Amino acid sequence: MIAGRMQVAGFDVRVWNGGDGPTLVYLHGFEQHPGDAPFLNDLARARRVVAPEHPGFGSSSGFECLCDLQDLILYYRAFVENLGAAPVDVIGHGLGGMFAAELAILAPERVNRLVLVAPYGLWLDDTPLPDPFTMGPPALASAKWADPAHAGLETSAFDGAGGDSRAEFRAINLTAASKFMWPIPDRGLARRLPYLSTPTLVIHGEADALVPPAYEAAWAAVVPRARFARIADAGHLPMFEARDEFLALVDKFLD
Amino acid sequence: MKFHWFAEATYPHLPDDFPARGLSSWVSTPRDLADPVKVGETYRMFIRLMQQADRDGFDGLAVNEHHQTPFAMTPSPNLLAASLASTTENAAILIIGDSLALYNPPTRVAEEIAYLDCLSGGRVIAGFVFGTPMDSVFAYGNPPPELRERFHEARKLILRAWEAKEPFAFNGKYTQLRYVNAWPKPIQARPPIWVPGSGSLETWDLVIDENYCYGHLSFSGLHSAKPMVDAYWEYVAGRGGDMNPHRMAFTQLICCAATDAEAEAKYYEAVRYFYRMNTLDPAFTMAPGYTSIRSQKAMAEHVRNAPNLRPEDRARAAKGEMSFWEYDEKGYIIAGTPQRVRQRLRELAVDLRIGQLIGCLHMGNLSEETASENTHLFGTQVIPHLRDLWADQPDHWTPVVSQRRIAARAQAQREAAE
């Protein structure tokens, strides 16, 4: 994947590009863009993969233009339109899953197929999601990974540019994420999901304690036609922790 | 120089092993730890003490806002202010302050402060606060990157509501009102405005731009505050702001007694309670986006630049592990006879260029009797000896009514004594 920048609708964001073929857009989760990640390179073997960093994350600008989720989704519609005339496939992870679902609802003609990995966006009173903003590193690692020893597999878009520290990079990212996740990562998606007509695959890691697989039922209740898959030995980041299984599921669904 | 009576309305009956149990004193504190009947008695004690402070010559009675904590059980400072506004005569009612982002719509603040100003005869100081992370983003759920924006939108709405001659429409990002026409008007056309901060550069810019009174409201004393307060004044000077010391407020724990030994005997347990029982869970003390990266860097620099207060000292102070006189030496408290206290306060005020001292005359689980004695000694034997400080500079940041009444009262007492 090659890092670059893209200017769309007044936003100036970092984008990782790779591969040729039908376009697949990857929307990252709340902690960070994964940068030049192995799973993105794998996906790019048979596709053109475009992985933008969300406005406000890392060195991607435009956060100040966002008042609410609608502003962001309108931006992502313009972003996808900018990629060409043909509709695209979209994978959204965690918070990016919330964005991807909203995009498919707003612009169904632009989204061919949708893969949601441990998506945020719904809320069950009986199974409240943990608050990731209050977790110290050990608690977060144990919630994120089936085996915290796998933490080293995760890649990051952090490149030290501009003299920022990793801690600052993280603070910048979580600040932007909090706009859509604080105090509860529910911005009304459940009300809009009945309008979702895009073929959708929802993937959960069996060991994900951030977005537990119990949320599968919540998605099934509002998107009955979606397909569901669980990956046994993975937590919140199956694309790193169980890469082969993750890729097999995605390839099978998209091809 | 002006002196304001203050206490955190702390619940005084927490079990001794509260810190050892790993409990947080903010946000998630088990509610069963407090007996509501005893909470009521505590509130009544604070009201009596503040009424006494008004009689003993204090310039202001300070009330503050915190949520979900036994450290300060004043979810609405305006409620305590209302108890004082109708039962005191002279002192300013210093609301320090209302957490603007937490009022919906914020015209509520314009109305309630106006009510208090009317009730008190024009004695209100309007403090506007962002609120701690525990209050504003955890207990009240504001997304951290929205907090400052919400604060400023609310502030502009409130100011306009006080000044408007006729109803107006307000189309904000967070508040939309078609008919703003706040009743009643405050007696003071625009009450004095104070904004406390903990070192954010954005807040410094605000108080310089608007010429508000800035408050450094920590409980860590001179040595902790010195690098930040010095940096603040340097920043004000650099921006060509008003260097009048009356626009700088500072909190300080005060422990007055007839002798130094008596001070230690009467206050040590309460001082330890105050610090020990304030157990800050790191999960709730910071939130991404609450403090800008630029301000975080500046604040970290101030901590590094405090030569007389090492990180180990801060940790020991928080755990109640300092001796009484070590707390005093490190600046956490100013203790002893009125003579000693006024000497140390003079040094503090000159060193930090402070014109508004917010004295904490009650702390932790101090008895009412001792707090009352503290208030009386301070009001009668400390304040009169420090009136000369900054007397050459005008004070635009306390209500004119309070200034006049307190000066007249002091004059009458001097004449009676002669």
Domain with A33, as residue range(s), is 2-254
Q: For residue A172, give how far its alpha carbon lies from the nearest alpha carbon of chain B (Å).
A: 7
**pLDDT at site B229:** 96
Is A172 in the B-facing interface, judged by CB distances under 8 Å?
yes
Q: Are B49 and B375 in contact (CB under 8 A)?
A: yes
Provide the 3-class DSSP secondary structure of residue A228: strand
B141 to chain A: nearest residue by CA? A183
**pLDDT at site A163:** 62
| Interface TM-score (ipTM) > 0.95 | no
**pLDDT at site A213:** 96
Give the domain CATH number at A216. Answer: 3.40.50.1820
* Partner-chain contact B173 A67, CB within 8 Å: yes
Average pLDDT on B93-100 reads: 97
Residue A168, class by beta-carbon neighbours within 10 Å (0-12 exposed, 13-18 middle, 19+ buried)?
middle
Is B293 in the A-facing interface, judged by CB distances under 8 Å?
yes
Q: For residue A119, give how far its alpha carbon lies from the nearest alpha carbon of chain B (Å).
A: 20
**pLDDT at site A161:** 74
* Partner-chain contact A175 B146, CB within 8 Å: no
Is B389 in the A-facing interface, judged by CB distances under 8 Å?
no
**pLDDT at site B309:** 86
Is B75 in the A-facing interface, judged by CB distances under 8 Å?
no
Radius of gyration of chain B (CA): 20
Taking only the tens place, the pLDDT of each residue in B277-294 is: 999 898 999 999 999 888
Give B305's pLDDT tier (boundaries 50, 70, 90): confident
Q: For residue A87, give how far its alpha carbon lies from the nearest alpha carbon of chain B (Å).
A: 34
Average pLDDT on B217-230 reads: 92
**pLDDT at site B45:** 98
Backbone angles phi, psi at B405, to 5 degrees: -65, -40
**pLDDT at site A162:** 63
Q: For residue A54, give how far its alpha carbon lies from the nearest alpha carbon of chain B (Å).
A: 16
Phi-psi category of residue B167: left, alpha or beta, with phi > 0 → left and psi -120 to 50 → alpha? beta
Res B217 pLDDT > 70: yes
Strands A11-18 and A48-52 turn out to be: antiparallel
Rounded to 10 deg, the angle between the B144-163 and A166-181 helix axes is 60
* Partner-chain contact B145 A176, CB within 8 Å: yes
Taking only the tens place, the pLDDT of each residue in B37-60 is: 999 999 999 999 999 999 999 999
Provide the 3-class DSSP secondary structure of residue A2: strand
Instruction: Please list the residues that pair with B254 across neighbouring strands.
Output: B334
Amino acid making up residue B253: L
Average pLDDT on A37-45 reads: 98
Taking only the tens place, the pLDDT of each residue in B137-186 is: 999 999 999 999 999 999 999 999 999 999 999 999 999 999 999 999 99
Contact list in B for residue A133 (CB cut-off 8 A) is: 287-288
Give the integer Cα–Cα distance in Å for B338 and B351.
20
Is B26 in the A-facing interface, judged by CB distances under 8 Å?
no
Domain with B390, as residue range(s), is 2-417
* Partner-chain contact B288 A67, CB within 8 Å: no
The answer for B 137-196 residues in CB contact with A (under 8 A) is 137-138, 141-146, 173
Q: Are B116 and B93 in contact (CB under 8 A)?
A: yes
Res B306 pLDDT > 90: no
Tally the domains of chain B. 1
The shortest CB-CB distance from A182 to any of B144, B284, B296 is to B144
Contact list in A for residue B138 (CB cut-off 8 A) is: 134, 183
Give the integer Cα–Cα distance in Å for A108 and B38.
60
Q: Which residue has the higher pLDDT, B276 or A255?
A: B276
Return the structure tokens found at B272.
């330890």
Give the domain CATH number at B390. Answer: 3.20.20.30
**pLDDT at site A160:** 84
Provide the 3-class DSSP secondary structure of residue B193: strand
Is A182 in the B-facing interface, judged by CB distances under 8 Å?
yes
Res B301 pLDDT > 90: no
Q: For residue A43, give how far its alpha carbon lies from the nearest alpha carbon of chain B (Å).
A: 32
Q: Are A32 and A58 in contact (CB under 8 A)?
A: yes
Rounded to 10 deg, the angle between the A166-181 and A95-106 helix axes is 50
Q: Within 10 A of B190 (CB to CB), how many other CB atoms are there?
A: 10
Q: For residue A163, give how far its alpha carbon lies from the nearest alpha carbon of chain B (Å).
A: 13
- As a whole number, the mean pLDDT across chain A is 96
Average pLDDT on B315-322 reads: 95
Contact list in B for residue A172 (CB cut-off 8 A) is: 293
Give the integer Cα–Cα distance in Å for A82 and A63.
20
Taking only the tens place, the pLDDT of each residue in B325-350 is: 999 999 999 999 999 999 999 999 99
* Partner-chain contact A175 B137, CB within 8 Å: no
A63 to chain B: nearest residue by CA? B145
Taking only the tens place, the pLDDT of each residue in A132-173 is: 999 999 999 999 999 999 999 999 999 887 667 999 999 999
**pLDDT at site A164:** 77
Taking only the tens place, the pLDDT of each residue in A75-126 is: 999 999 999 999 999 999 999 999 999 999 999 999 999 999 999 999 999 9
Backbone angles phi, psi at A138, to 5 degrees: -65, -45
